[in-house]
Amino acid sequence: MCSIAGLFRYGVWANSTEMNEALDYLNALIVSGADRGRDSFGVLAAGVTDNGHVHLQKRKWPGSPLELSKGLQGYFAQVAAQASLTGELPSVIINNDRAEPTTEWVALKLDDAIQPFETGAWAITHNGTIANDKEVFERCASYPPAPIDSYALSTVFDYTFGDTLPSVERVRDMLNAQVVGSYAFAAVNKYRPEMLYLGVNYKPLTLVHNRRLRTVFFTSLEGYAQSKSLWTLELLSDPMIQITRVPAYTVVQLSSFMGQLQIDYATLREPPNDKVLIVCSGGLDSTTAAAIHKAEGKEIGLVHFRYGCQAETKEVEAVRAIGEYYQCPVYWIDVPSFSQVIGGSTLFQKDAFVTTREGVSGAEFAHEWVPARNLVFLSMAVALAEAKGYGYVSSGINLEESGAYPDNEMEFILRLREVMPYAVGPNSRVELLMPVGNMMKHEIVAAGLYHEAPLHLTWSCYGDGEYHCGKCGPDFMRRRAFEMAGAVDPVKYADQ
C-alpha cells in the first residue's frame, strides 16, 4: 500500500540539462506519489561509471511530504554533482513512498525498515502485501532485519537468480510459483543495472517513455505522470513522450543494449477457460450470441435478471425454453430494486411504451431507458461467473441499439474490459465478450439463422400479450430486420 516510482536510462544524457530535466521529473513523480504513502521515503540509484565500475547511492528518511521534497532536492543535486565530476550517471533509480499497514507498524523508522530493500545483489521497491512472506524467508533461509513483508521480494529474487539477469519468463515463473499476495514492484540487480524488472498483478503501474531523454520513468498512478509542473504539461503534447499503463498481471523487462531500449513482456495468467455465461433477455440478440458461442465450441450457461419489467413473464418463458433447447444451465437473479426502488423507466408502466413510443420513434431513442441496467447486470453476471467458474461473460449488446442506448455502444464493453482484472479475485479471470457488438439487427437475424439459433423461442416485445404487439420499438426493428435479411419471422404478431 505504497507508491513506487523510478527511472531506467537506456541511452546517454547528452548534457547536464537533460540529466537535470530527468531528475526534476522523477522528483515530481515521487512528490506526487506521497498521496499514496507518507510514513517513510526512500531512493536508491545504481549506475556504471565511465571506467566500468558500478556505483550505488541510497537515501532513506522518515518524515512528511515537506521533508520529502526538501530531501529529494538535495539528493538529486548530489547525484547531478557527482555525475558532472566523475561521469557516474545513474542507470536505474527506484523509489518508495510507504503507507505503513497496521499489521507491519514499526515505531522506529530506522533505515532497515524503509524501502527500497536490498538482499544480496538485488534491490526492490514494492507496493502491496506479500501474504506468504514467512514461508519465503523460511524456504530461502533468510531472515529480514525488519518485520516487513516486502523484504520477501528482494529475498526471493536473490535466492532464485543470484547475480544473474533472468529472462522475463523466468521472473514470471518465479512469481507464480513462489509469491502470494498483491504487488507492483521494480527490481534491479544493483551490480548489473542494465536491466530493470517491473511486475504487477492488480496493483497499478504506469510507464512514461521519453525518447528524447532516452529514459523510461515509472510511477504508480497515471495521474502522477501528468503532474502539475510546466515540463509535464508540455509532455502531454510531445510526440517523443508515450504514457502507458502496465497491463494487470504482467511482468516487464527493460533492457539497454548499445543505447537502444528493448521491452519484453510476459503475462502472469493463463487464458480464461472456454465456459461462457450469457446475459440472456430471451430476445434475438442474446440468443444469437448463445448460438455463436455454441458454434465456437464453448460451453455455455444463461443468466436472466428478473427486474420487474412488464414483459418479465414472457421473457422468463423464452429464457427457460432457450435453456432447454441448448441443454445448458440457467441462473435466475431477482433484482426487485429496479422496479420497487429505482424506477425511472416506462418499462415499469403498463402499456406506456405502446401508446406513446411506437415504430421508428420507439427504435431511435432510449425512451424506455432503465437507469444503469446493463452496468448492474454485467457486474452481477461477472460475480456469478467468478463464483461458478466461467471464464467469460457475454451479452447481446449490439451496434443497432447503440444508436439509442449508450450502454449498447461497443465502447462501453471495451472500457469495462479494462476494469475486469480489478473486479475479480487474484486467482480468477473473467473477460467480457460481445459477439454481436458490431452487428445491425438484420445481421443479427442472419447470424442467428446461420447458426441455427432458436429464434422461434425468442421474445422481443416490451409488452406481455399473447403475441408480440408489433408496434413497440423492438418489434419494429425485429420485423424490419427479418425483412431485410430476406427471412420469415417465426413468431406471431397481434396484428397478423
Rounded CA-CA distance 302/355 in Å is: 32
Helix (H) or strand (E) holding 23: helix 16-33
Q: Fill in the amino acid letter for 63.
A: G
Percentages helix, strand, coil for the chain (3-state, rounded to 5) are 40, 25, 35
Closest CA to 289 of 274, 278, 305: 278
Rounded CA-CA distance 458/481 in Å is: 14
Rounded CA-CA distance 73/29 in Å is: 13
Rounded CA-CA distance 421/416 in Å is: 10
Helices (H) and strands (E) in the chain, counts: 16, 18
What are residue 263's DSSP bridge partners? 254
Cα angle value 46/106/160 (rounded, 5°): 45
Give me the phi and psi of 416, to 5 degrees please: -65, -30
Cross-sheet strand order for the sheet of 299-306? 330-334, 299-306, 275-279, 392-394, 431-433
Helix (H) or strand (E) holding 216: strand 215-219
Cα Rg, the chain, nearest whole Å: 29
Question: Is residue 474 a contact partner of residue 358, using CB atoms and an 8 Å limit?
Answer: no
Q: Spell out the alpha helix ranges (H) of 87-145.
A: 133-140
Closest CA to 318 of 458, 448, 463: 458
What are residue 92's DSSP bridge partners? 8, 46
Closest CA to 32 of 218, 186, 227, 207: 227
Using alpha carbons, list the distances in angstroms from residue 334 to 124, 306, 319: 48, 5, 14
Question: Is residue 393 a contact partner of residue 382, using CB atoms and an 8 Å limit?
Answer: yes
Q: Enumerate long-range contacts of 419-425, CB under 8 Å, 24 or more apart.
A: 420/382, 421/202, 421/247, 421/248, 421/249, 422/202, 422/248, 423/379, 423/382, 424/382, 424/386, 425/386
Decide if 140 is catalytic. Answer: no
Scored b (16 or more CB within 10 A) or e, 177-203 reads: ebbbbbbbbbbbbbeebbbbbbbbbbb
Question: Is residue 183 a contact partner of residue 153, using CB atoms and an 8 Å limit?
Answer: yes
Among residues 2, 280, 309, 461, which one is catalytic?
2
Residues labelled catalytic: 2
